[in-house]
Structure 1
Amino acid sequence: MILYEYPFNERIRTYLRLEQLFRRLAELVSRHHPLDHHFAIQTLFEIMDVGARSDLKSEILKDLDKLKQVYNGYRGNPAISEAALDQFIARIDACFNALHDDAGRVGHGLSENEWLMAIRSRISIPGGTCEFDLPAYHDWQHRPAELRQHELNNWVQELAALAQPIQLLMGLLRESGVPQKVTAIGGQYQQNLPQGRTFQLLRLWVDPALELVPEISGNRLLFSVRLMQRGPDGKLQIAADRNADLEVTLCA
């Protein structure tokens, strides 16, 4: 099954983007080819760009604080292990404190690295990191993979205070939903959302054997899915003559 996720607000949209970038970064750093490490550095810069929003840090801290209040409310519940609860709240506190104590914007330590910033100034230019532009970078790419990985992991640690709470918040958000089977009739499906509950994320699974691409739109009142298929010219068009079974999860 192919999973598609659709955020219902800008905050979750930003979290999803960061989560995808951190996943890509981890995959690229684990490889050994210089080209993989080039794109790992480029991903570092993308995370810094997304994390440059002035209100991002305060939003994450607010979400962590709300989360802690929710779980503190479970204290005294005989169905819940106090030891497990303490351990989880300690994890929330660790994420909160690390981000709170990280002065300045995301990746500010990387911004002080002149060598990295020289690459950043050239990497958005097509072919801007050739050896005649950045000979020191060209030399770095020819160093042993283990040395490059060591330096990359040090730079990744500069972003750990952001990566860990994003992973925690998105993991818990996804666990809040219950999957349901639905059927799109004539290539379309629409569902009203119950009032009094604010959903933040839609998760949609599509069987790849159907060869359909979902176009999702939504707001706090409803969401809709249009299933598209490739025509003879390669362009997407609505699969108006087809019904399809889907799996949907709404996360609040």
Structure 2
Amino acid sequence: MTSFEFPVTERTRTLLRLEQLYQRLAFFISQDEPFQHHAALMALFEVLEAAGRTELKSELLQELERQKQSLESWRESPVIEQNALEQILDEIELTSQRLLEHNSRFGQHLRENEWLMAIKQRSVIPGGTCQFDLPSYHLWLQGPLAQRRADLLRWAAPLMPTAEAAAILLKLLRDSGKHFSYVARRGAFQQMSGGKVVQLIRIAYDDALAVVPELSANKYALNIRFIDAGTGEGRPRQVEQDIDFTLTSCKF
């Protein structure tokens, strides 16, 4: 099955962007080549920008606390696996503590590193990190693998509580999903929402179909169009065939 996730709220949009950036950061740090570690550093700079809002930390802490209180109400419930419940509650508590431990502005240790900020400034210029532009950076990239990875991990470590908070909240949100099967007649589907607000919508369909969904949603209605996923030549067109798909609505 091919699946797409669509954030309905700005907070969910931020969480999904952070998830993607942190996944890319972790992947490239785990690799060995200099160009891959350059990509890791670029991902680190993107995380710095994406999570740099001063209110993000408090929003994450508030949402973690809200989820903790909601989950605690399920203690002793016979329909809930208690070990799993205690595990997620422990994760929420530990992540909240780790977020609170960092009193400075998110990524302040990176902003105070003049060498890194010089690389960040040059990175917005196409080809701006060539060896003749940043000879010390070129020397670092050509240095020992173990040292490069250790540096990247050290720079990333203070940012990781935000990644952990985003991962917990997205897991809880996705686990709340309710699945329904529908058919988009001639590639179009509409459903009235009745004032119900969700945070995340997932659409899944047969991966043999060369289509992509376009979605618009609010508390009044949900509209989905399936567009021909051609090579990009010409204007994208709505398909004429019926599309069977699964719709998953997620809300806390």
Q: Same fold (TM over 0.5)?
A: yes
State the alpha-carbon separation in 2 of the partners of residues 233 and 46 from structure 1.
27
Quote the offset at 1:193 in angstroms.
2.1
Asked if structure 1 preserves the Cα contact closer than 8 Å seen for 2:185 and 2:241, the reply is yes
Amino acid in structure 2 at the alignment position of 1:120: K
> In structure 2, what is the equivalent of residue 21 of structure 1?
21
1:15-164 → structure 2 map (5 Å cutoff): 15-80=15-80, 82-164=82-164
* SS at 2:74 equivalent: coil
* SS at 2:236 equivalent: strand
Amino acid in structure 1 at the alignment position of 2:245: L
Quote the offset at 1:232 in angstroms.
8.6
> In structure 1, what is the equivalent of residue 219 of structure 2?
220
Amino acid in structure 2 at the alignment position of 1:96: S
> In structure 2, what is the equivalent of residue 210 of structure 1?
209
Structure 1's unaligned 5+ residue stretches are: none
Output the TM-score relative to the length of structure 1: 0.93
Quote the offset at 1:147 in angstroms.
2.0
State the alpha-carbon separation in 2 of the partners of residues 204 and 96 from structure 1.
32
State the alpha-carbon separation in 1 of the partners of residues 250 and 82 from structure 2.
26
* SS at 1:158 equivalent: helix
Asked if structure 2 preserves the Cα contact closer than 8 Å seen for 1:187 and 1:241, the reply is yes
Quote the offset at 1:67 in angstroms.
0.5
* SS at 1:210 equivalent: coil
> After superposition, what is the alpha-carbon deviation per residue over 1:1-30, rounded to whole angstroms, capped at 9, x for unaligned?
222111111111111111110111111111
State the alpha-carbon separation in 1 of the partners of residues 49 and 111 from structure 2.
11
- Taking a change above 3 Å as real, the CA distance of residues 232 and 149 of structure 1, as seen in their structure-2 partners, is closer
Asked if structure 1 preserves the Cα contact closer than 8 Å seen for 2:215 and 2:222, the reply is yes
> In structure 1, what is the equivalent of residue 199 of structure 2?
200
Quote the offset at 1:229 in angstroms.
0.9
Amino acid in structure 2 at the alignment position of 1:20: Q
Quote the offset at 1:225 in angstroms.
1.1
Asked if structure 2 preserves the Cα contact closer than 8 Å seen for 1:187 and 1:238, the reply is no
* SS at 1:118 equivalent: helix
> After superposition, what is the alpha-carbon deviation per residue over 1:20-73, rounded to whole angstroms, capped at 9, x for unaligned?
101111111111111111111011011110111122111111100100110111
- Taking a change above 3 Å as real, the CA distance of residues 117 and 232 of structure 1, as seen in their structure-2 partners, is closer
Amino acid in structure 1 at the alignment position of 2:228: Q
Quote the offset at 1:162 in angstroms.
0.5
> In structure 2, what is the equivalent of residue 182 of structure 1?
182
Asked if structure 1 preserves the Cα contact closer than 8 Å seen for 2:197 and 2:218, the reply is no
> After superposition, what is the alpha-carbon deviation per residue over 1:85-125, rounded to whole angstroms, capped at 9, x for unaligned?
33322211111111122113221222222221111111111
2:249 is the counterpart of 1:250: yes
Structure 2's unaligned 5+ residue stretches are: none
- Taking a change above 3 Å as real, the CA distance of residues 177 and 82 of structure 1, as seen in their structure-2 partners, is closer
Asked if structure 2 preserves the Cα contact closer than 8 Å seen for 1:95 and 1:165, the reply is yes
State the alpha-carbon separation in 2 of the partners of residues 228 and 236 from structure 1.
10
- Taking a change above 3 Å as real, the CA distance of residues 11 and 130 of structure 1, as seen in their structure-2 partners, is same
> In structure 2, what is the equivalent of residue 238 of structure 1?
237
* SS at 1:59 equivalent: helix
State the alpha-carbon separation in 1 of the partners of residues 49 and 139 from structure 2.
26
Output the TM-score relative to the length of structure 2: 0.93
Amino acid in structure 2 at the alignment position of 1:25: L
Asked if structure 2 preserves the Cα contact closer than 8 Å seen for 1:228 and 1:236, the reply is no
* SS at 2:219 equivalent: coil
State the alpha-carbon separation in 2 of the partners of residues 249 and 103 from structure 1.
38
- Taking a change above 3 Å as real, the CA distance of residues 236 and 184 of structure 1, as seen in their structure-2 partners, is farther
